[in-house]
Amino acid sequence: MLVPKRSRPRAVAAGAGLAVVCSLLVPALPAHAGPGSPAAASDPHRSPHAVATGHGGAVASVDLDASRAGIATLRRGGNAVDAAVATAAALGVTEPYVAGPGGGGFMVVYLARQHRVVTIDGRETCPAACTHDLFVENGSPLAFEEARHSGLAVGVPGMVAQWARAVHRYGNRRLADDLGPAIHRAERGFRVDDTFVQETRKSLTDLQAFTSSRRLFLRHGQPLPVGARLRNPDLARTYRMIARHGASYLYDGPLAAAIAHTVQHPPVWTGTALTVRPGIMTRRDLRGYHPEQPAPTHVRYRGHDVYGMAPPSSGGSTTGEALNILSGYPMATESRTLAMHHYLEALRYSFADRNRYVGDPDYVDVPLHGLLDPAYAATRRCLITDQAAASPVAPGDPYRPYSGCSSPGAAAAAADHEQSTNNVVTADRWGNVVAYTNTIEQFAGTGMAVPGYGFLLNNEMTDFDFAAADPTVPDVNLPEGGKIPRSSMNPTIVLRHGTPVFAVGSPGGATIITTVLQILVNRLDLGMSLEQAIAAPRVGNFNTPTSFAEQGFLDTAVARRLTRLHGQQFSVVTGPLQIDQEIGAATGVELLGHGRLRADAEPVRRGGGAALVVRTQR
């Protein structure tokens, strides 16, 4: 498996803990053969809602009920922003382990009337009392899992403020209207499926540790069975109060008090063996939260304009740098093996820069201009040979004047691939498009639900490094009061001649970046449709000695040739659950012209997603 978060300290040297046990290799997933293949067509695990083509608007998310909430909103006059908020709020009900008011996210919006792309950063912030030593105890960094289920891990949730900002500035309706379908779903409940049970199992010990979470999600301390109905009247009430009072209900009202109290006095179940550390968030931290609106990242690639999320996410900068590197290769005409070699090497060098330079730009100097400059990318491209570089490769120097090819050296790298996030893509009949990735970090976040309010608190602060890996190299991602941890979330909108062509995003920790880049390359270079690009087997490099791949990729002739001809080495993502064996669960929407839309959701991974359109094309 990839470097498991649970057992590694943050900011470890690349390669540490990368053991892959061959006996754990799993059989290829049938659908990973790709759509159009006989295996995909007959795959019983394929979501019946993976693709939809039509008019009037589109929604793609990881969940059918949530996508329906978005479509209902579009039908009632909402635009793509309203639909994205309605879908995300519904995901807080039906996917409470990866979404909800206790989390945060990044939204990229194409505004048709203004012909421009804007972003909303609703990422969680560290409470004012945070210091570099947030996760240091007796001089040593905490183990990841120890930190994860603590109050220390909880960042000030940004999601609800982000929804309010998005709807107020860019929506057609009121936030109260957009919350309607989620309130309805929380009251009526939803049917627990196998994926939900897997996600419960993944975080079972953490959920069991809190009385509030046991009450909300477990029965006699165990996961609900497949087919059970999970109702969440507490969350329905929370959403209703937000609908009535606005976001201030969460940031400056009774809910703010409840969140701060839960963080400082976690509702620990007496039977747990876990040590649960209290946190430091106060009502003042909540009162001070404001979403930011940084300019999007932008690069040109194969005649397209690719817009993404700026720091504190590393999504847009890392994808942008890799695309700039790749633009120097004729990816569409070189052999598939050589194209994939270039793809992996571009990632290797881009991740070296991401790990060294990208953090919260309000706290550290992020050389974003250099990282996105094609001239800088040329100094990274010239390091790439026909053989895989030995990782970790050193970061470059993205400050002008660029110093040409720099030499390899030590660098830090870390990778995780838990899909504990979700991506929503929406489009409307007016031409607006939204890509929105949001999360509570790990599956079930801290595991800690706010008693009586029906949602889990994030553990986003564990996205910070716990301690600098190398005291001689500045670490841009250490905790500080008010600072936002580096993210990999990568909602992306692609335009051509000023018009959106498609939008995409994915869950998956650091593999979000590789997943989105691979989809872009598949779609823009390798001749795949967006549906095929999303379904194709995945591989990515994180400035790590081995690239991480799904078994479906390792089974290909390209993988074998990459090793034989270019010295690429691979590790398979593996683990006891099906969701451990997958990378990403992407969603996208393609704009086909003349108002036609095609929504694409992940067909198989994480149980398959749901792509819907307002009016289906017959």
Which residues of this protein are in contact with ligand GLU, per CB under 6 A? 416, 418-421, 439, 441, 460, 463, 487-489, 507-509
Of the candidates 282, 421, 546, 556, the residue annotated as catalytic is 421
Report the nearest approach of ligand GLU to the CB of residue 601 (Å). Answer: 17
Amino acid at 174: R
Cα separation, 99 vs 3, in Å, equals 24
Positive or negative torsion for Cα 555, 557, 558, 559: positive
Residue 343 or 443: the one with the smaller Cβ distance to ligand GLU is 443
Instruction: Map tokens 């940031």 to a residue.
Output: 251
> Under a CB-based contact definition with an 8 Å cutoff, are residues 608 and 596 in contact?
no
Residue 6 or 564: the one with the smaller Cβ distance to ligand GLU is 6
Report the nearest approach of ligand GLU to the CB of residue 509 (Å). Answer: 3
Residue 206 or 418: the one with the smaller Cβ distance to ligand GLU is 418
Closest CA to 122 of 305, 313, 306: 313
Report the nearest approach of ligand GLU to the CB of residue 55 (Å). Answer: 32
Q: 409 — phi, psi (to 5°)?
A: -170, -170
Cα separation, 34 vs 44, in Å, equals 14
Report the nearest approach of ligand GLU to the CB of residue 512 (Å). Answer: 6
> Under a CB-based contact definition with an 8 Å cutoff, are residues 367 and 350 in contact?
no
Q: 51 — phi, psi (to 5°)?
A: -140, 140
C-alpha triplet 584, 589, 593: angle, nearest 5°: 155
Report the nearest approach of ligand GLU to the CB of residue 318 (Å). Answer: 11
Cα separation, 105 vs 437, in Å, equals 6
DSSP 435: E
Say how many residues make up the chain: 618
Spatial CB neighbours of 335, under 8 Å, sequence gap ≥ 6: none
Q: Is 615 helix (H, G, I), strand (E, B) or coil?
A: strand
Tokens of 336: 């598939």
Report the nearest approach of ligand GLU to the CB of residue 175 (Å). Answer: 24
Amino acid at 470: D
Residue 327 or 459: the one with the smaller Cβ distance to ligand GLU is 459
**Alpha-helical runs (H) found in 33-79:** 38-41, 64-75
Is residue 421 annotated as a catalytic residue, yes or no? yes
Q: Is 440 helix (H, G, I), strand (E, B) or coil?
A: coil
Report the nearest approach of ligand GLU to the CB of residue 125 (Å). Answer: 13
Spatial CB neighbours of 527, under 8 Å, sequence gap ≥ 6: 332
Residue 406 or 487: the one with the smaller Cβ distance to ligand GLU is 487
Q: 64 — phi, psi (to 5°)?
A: -65, -45
Tokens of 262: 């839960």
> Chain-centre distance of CA 485, in angstroms?
14
Report the nearest approach of ligand GLU to the CB of residue 508 (Å). Answer: 5
Tokens of 349: 């060098």
Residue 51 or 134: the one with the smaller Cβ distance to ligand GLU is 134
Residue 216 or 489: the one with the smaller Cβ distance to ligand GLU is 489
Report the nearest approach of ligand GLU to the CB of residue 441 (Å). Answer: 4
Q: Is 112 helix (H, G, I), strand (E, B) or coil?
A: coil
Report the nearest approach of ligand GLU to the CB of residue 225 (Å). Answer: 27
Tokens of 158: 């940004």
Amino acid at 220: H
Residue 67 or 421: the one with the smaller Cβ distance to ligand GLU is 421
Residue 282 or 314: the one with the smaller Cβ distance to ligand GLU is 314
Cα separation, 406 vs 419, in Å, equals 34
DSSP string covering 367-424 = -HHHHT-HHHHHHHHTT--SS---SSPPP---SSSP-SSPPP---B--------EEEE
Residue 318 or 426: the one with the smaller Cβ distance to ligand GLU is 318
What are the catalytic residues? 421
